[in-house]
Amino acid sequence: MYDFSNKTIVITGASGGIGMALTRELDRRRANLVLADINFSGLESLASGLTSNPLIIECDITDRADVKRLVESAVNRFLKIDILINNAGIIRPALFEDCSYEDIDAQMKVNFMGAVNCSKEVVAVMIPAKQGYIVTVSSLAGLVPETYSSIYTASKFALRGFFLTLAIELRKHNIKVSTIFPDSVDTPMLKYEASHGGSPLTFLSNAQSPEKIVQAVIKAIEKNRPEIYSPASVFFQK
């Protein structure tokens, strides 16, 4: 069993459905938490219910200066970063022919470049420490094309290629990399997708609880698994 106590863990998108579930479980496991989100009031509300005293940072992960400040603040407070959980993400469902350039750019910047930005800054801390773990919560759309979500799908496919490669490159530094591919999860983002013409593939099965994804993240860390599907058989069912 991996001992999360006193491990410094940065979670992006911490005020969202999966982010909140991750935060509460890792707080229960006595981790040092660094919670990042553009929704600062959501972070304040989340932090008020924790047993620990987390560092909460308003952060736009598409802004590299913001990300640098996030990582510097984490190191100043806790002296190290043991785990990064790239959890922030957005979706703007639409047929490609109807996508605005604004929605195209937003999804690629948040879903892909946001994770790249955070990983870049955190790796610079982890390499001298000769240890670390980067976990990214992706989507089934990183494995299976989803109509009405072509740009979202592209961003998630990009994440898979990036983190599989990063796992190979960072092995020599004892930095481990995992990606989680959830099927539908009962979160505000899923409700947004349902009311804005999301992919039919998303709604073929019942939505999982965010806690199921937390279990997948913990399993990835404990077993050093490069990829995990949630549920385990989802890729073969659809």
- Write out the catalytic residue numbers: 152
C-alpha–C-alpha distance, residues 212 and 218, integer Å: 10
- For tokens 């994770």, what's the residue? 115
| 3 state DSSP class of 33 | strand
- Helix 114-129 vs helix 150-169: angle between axes, to the nearest 10 degrees? 10
DSSP string, 161-225: HHHHHHHHHTGGGTEEEEEEEE--B-SHHHHHHHHTT--GGGGSSPPBPHHHHHHHHHHHHHHT-
